[in-house]
Amino acid sequence: MITAPETLATPPGLAVVQHVDGFGAPETERAEYAELQRPAQLHPGFKLFLDEDTPMLTPAETLALSPPPDLVTYQ
């Protein structure tokens, strides 16, 4: 885990993603996503677990997060 993401140096031409893998109920996932620090040099990302997230956020609910994730993955 990265403890000071604001100190990361990002190479020019490379989009670096802060990939959040909230686990659990939608309320828990939304709360974890909302409380994370988002340095300007990192793009927001979000991971959903097909078997563990019950119920799983829908694509519309996921894109309604603030800020909307630039990358969404399903595991």
60 in a domain, yes or no?
Answer: yes
Tokens of 66: 């603030």
Tens of pLDDT, residue by residue over 20-29, are 886 788 998 8
11 in a domain, yes or no?
Answer: no
Phi (first) and psi of residue 62, to 5 degrees = -65, -45
2 in a domain, yes or no?
Answer: no
6 in a domain, yes or no?
Answer: no
Tens of pLDDT, residue by residue over 47-73, are 999 888 889 999 999 999 999 999 999
Predicted TM-score (pTM) of this structure? 0.82
Conformation bin of residue 52: beta by default, left when phi > 0, alpha when psi is -120 to 50: alpha
HSE of 72 in the Cβ direction (CA atoms, 13 Å)?
17
Check: CB of residue 17 under 8 Å from CB of residue 70: yes
8 in a domain, yes or no?
Answer: no
